[in-house]
Amino acid sequence: MLGPAPVLQIPVACVQGENLRYREYLELTRQAVNDSTHPKLIVLPEHTIQEVGREKHTFVVSLAKLARERGVFICVGAHVRAPAGAECDYDNVGLLIGPDETIVGEQAKAVPVPFFQDGNPARSQSTFDTPYARVGIYICYDATFTDIPRRLVALGAELMLAPLMDPE
């Protein structure tokens, strides 16, 4: 008979704020990576980057440099350009930035909040390899649906990251 699976212990830190400037988010992220627990993954809120952002966005570049300097992965909520013809002009995603300064993964919110401009529904779900665990990302409201994290686990996720908006 098999015993229980070993428990992964991966230090993770969350940066939470609302309506902060990028320099404030960057300072909080810097504090998080320098914490005595030595987090390997940092999660910032949903909608942190509200302009359309990917690799060349100034804040993504700053986070990527910090990820490289500290050898961490950073997950940040961002808006990215939606495909032509989509109902909303952006997708609400979690970007996973690796210590090699690249975007390792991008996961759109599966279920945008109804009656709001909250991005477009994800066309698929994916998981992403890190040296610590296979990571699944779901965005805020997605946590109210059991099928979304279950699907990520079925895709091999061992660790879930969830950028959340913290309404004032």
Write out pLDDT tens, residues 75-110.
999 999 999 999 999 999 999 999 999 999 999 999
Query: pLDDT tens digits, residue range 19-43?
Result: 899 999 999 999 999 999 999 999 9
Residue with tokens 């690796």: 98
Given its phi and psi angles, is residue 156 left (phi above 0), alpha (psi -120 to 50 degrees) or beta? left
By the 10 Å C-beta count (0-12 exposed, 13-18 middle, 19+ buried), 52 is classed as middle
Q: What is the pLDDT of residues 44-63, one digit of tens each?
A: 999 999 988 677 899 999 99
Q: What is the pLDDT of residue 1?
A: 63
Mean pLDDT value of segment 140-156: 96
Residue 138 confidence (pLDDT): 97
